Structure 1
Amino acid sequence: MFYPKMMALVRRYIDSDAQAEEVLNNGYLRAFQKIKQYNFQGSFEGWVRKIIFHAVADHVKQNSKYANQIVLVEKDELVHKDHADRLYYDQLVQLVQALPEATRTVFNMYVMEGMTHKEIGALIGISEGTSKWHLSEGRRILREKIERLELHVK
């Protein structure tokens, strides 16, 4: 029943079909192992989503190439609104999935999940500054890719 939504959550962070399936299966295994801890407060779907999200975060943390890297924050620039308005959802998802793994993870956690840099850093084991850099880098890469699509009306 929850498979499509949970797989969409996992796919925001993991682009490989096999790895996404493995992480989702691990998340469901955790949910089944902890089913007695569900206390019927809030939605069951939200409870499962939280467990799946933690499975994703654990996978990212274990496989992060950048866990000990120190980086500086760079200034963001805005993408022109006309470009973004002409993109379809599927195109945006493809562009985000093409980001480097660590950058994609931070970008999704910040933008899609609404997490703070402090929360992201604690969850995947990086500094707040590194989290901010990955968000900035993701925005920069996406801006460049969107501008290259030349979506101007002719």
Structure 2
Amino acid sequence: MSIALAYTATSQVSELEQLIQGCIRNERSSQEKLYRLFYPKMMAMVRRYIDHDEQAEEVMNNGYLRAFQKLSQYNFQGSFEGWLRKIIFHAVSDYVKQNARYSEKVVLVEKDELVHKDHADKLYYDQLVKLVQALPDATRTVFNMYVMEGFTHKEIGNMLGISEGTSKWHLSEGRRQLKEKIEKLELHLKA
């Protein structure tokens, strides 16, 4: 009877849970499988902040190293992907803090002018990503954290060690620069 119960309990353990347990036991094959399983989604997040391949790969690997070190703290409640995303994001945040030169800015808030809808509709996703990646590092980071990740200016300020006002300035500056770049593309877009 106990063998049947043990078999039932084992068969109900998901493949992901088995991989996680293997990683906790420091099994290299499980670590590699887990890395490869979530690599595309995690790298897409990292690339929103870091546009150079080598630095993005370094940050990604540092994030995974942290995750493997903290894996025994994961309690199998909630989304594992969300848990991993949070750890990788902290690696991104630490990289940005160490490598970006922030300075306090005077914030002059103006109402952002909207980009003409026809221009924005003609942009492909890849073009938009390239435009965002072309923003200066600090501005790109704040823009992504606010627009893509949904953090508040207070949260961004705390994570990056900047004031809320500086975060707002970077967001406004990012929007302004993107608007200019999109409007310049108008010359190349056909109606």
1:52 alignment partner in structure 2: 88
2:150 matched to 1:114?
A: yes
What aligned pairs does 1:114-133 form with structure 2 within 5 A after superposition?
Answer: 114-133=150-169
Structure 2's unaligned 5+ residue stretches are 1-36
Out of 103, 108, 112, which is 1:73 matched to? Answer: 108
TM-score relative to the length of structure 1? 0.96
CA distance in 2, matches of 1:114, 1:125: 18
Partner of 1:141, secondary structure, is helix
| Contact 1:7/1:24 (<8 A) preserved | yes
1:15 alignment partner in structure 2: 51
2:184 matched to 1:148?
A: yes
CA distance in 2, matches of 1:136, 1:80: 17
CA distance in 1, matches of 2:121, 2:50: 26
CA distance in 1, matches of 2:49, 2:155: 16
CA distance in 2, matches of 1:5, 1:73: 36
CA distance in 1, matches of 2:175, 2:80: 33
2:13 alignment partner in structure 1: none
1:134 alignment partner in structure 2: 170
| Contact 1:7/1:20 (<8 A) preserved | yes
Out of 51, 74, 77, which is 1:38 matched to? Answer: 74
Say what the alpha-carbon RMSD is for the aligned residues: 1.0
What aligned pairs does 1:24-35 form with structure 2 within 5 A after superposition?
Answer: 24-35=60-71
Q: Deviations over 1:37-74 (max 9, x none)?
A: 101111111110010001001111111211x4233133
Structure 1's unaligned 5+ residue stretches are none
Q: Deviations over 1:70-123 (max 9, x none)?
A: 331331221111111110000000000000000000000000001100000000
Partner of 1:34, secondary structure, is helix
TM-score relative to the length of structure 2? 0.77
Give the structure, 1 or 2, with the largest relative contact order (CA under 8 Å, sep 6 or more).
1
CA distance in 2, matches of 1:36, 1:71: 45
Paired-residue identity, %: 80
Q: Deviations over 1:9-30 (max 9, x none)?
A: 0000001110000000000000
